[in-house]
A = this chain, B = another copy of it.
Amino acid sequence: MKLPGKTVERLSKYRRTLLECLNEKRNFIYSHDLAARIHITAVQVRRDLMLIGYSSVLRKGYDVRELIDTISKIIDSEESIHVAVIGIGNLGRAVAGYFKGKRSKLNLVASFDNDPQKINKVISGVKCYPYNDIERMIKELDIRIAILTVPLDSAKEITEEMVRYGIKGILNFTTIPLNVPSGVYLEEYDMITSIEKVAYFVKENKI
């Protein structure tokens, strides 16, 4: 099954919302209710669920637990997938600290840095390894995904190396566009572009 990226994004949001429902002891939720919580339309929800082949049968809304399970089967791996933060600076630490708080199939197992002050210490809940050991550690810890928070000038080279050593997914926080071969999935996370977009639309509204 090949889902559109946009649908995958929404599935992630659906699941998060559904987990909140469980907390509130709600066991059923209507499509329009789920939609309202994330500010989209009910049709969009139903269409996405159609794409993943989920169907509720009852007309009393979706079974929250069941839908969580269905979505998890789609977007999660069987086994937990190992993640590392590359460059445990200001942003890297924030992200690492945040991740360690969650339990999920995504398991933050290491960080890497080249600052002697940092290596071989536990920072934001995760052990920092010397970047020079990354080839070995990717294999040893079976790391699949890298969260890239190194300075701009080293981002390109580090990416090439990581890909060579077997990394399959990269979440890029630097503002450098990266080149990855097919078979490696890259998601760009461009804060500057986001804020400039906000600024543009704020300006346009004002005028």
Interface residues of A (CB under 8 A from B): 2-3, 5, 8-9, 12-13, 16, 37-39, 74-77, 81, 83, 89-91, 93-95, 97-98, 102, 105-106, 124, 144-145, 147, 168-171, 175, 177, 179, 183, 185, 187, 189-206
Contact = CB atoms under 8 A, between A and B. Distances in A.
A137 to B, nearest CB: 18
A17 to B, nearest CB: 8
A91 B47 CA distance: 35
Contacts of A95: 91, 191
Contact of A94 (B83, B93, B198): B93
Number of copies: 2
A50 to B, nearest CB: 18
B94 A199 contact: no
A201 B175 contact: no
A175 B90 contact: no
Contacts of A145: 195, 198-199, 202
15 contacts: A9-B197, A12-B193, A16-B175, A39-B179, A75-B199, A81-B199, A89-B94, A95-B191, A98-B191, A102-B192, A144-B202, A168-B206, A169-B202, A183-B205, A185-B198
Given A37-B177, A187-B195, A187-B197, 6 more contacts: A13-B177, A90-B93, A93-B94, A95-B191, A171-B195, A185-B198
Contacts of A98: 90-91, 191
A199 B169 contact: yes
Contacts of A81: 199, 202-203
A203 B74 CA distance: 10
A5 B75 contact: no
A147 B198 CA distance: 10
Given A198-B187, A202-B81, A97 B106 contact: no
A93 B97 CA distance: 13
A97 to B, nearest CB: 5
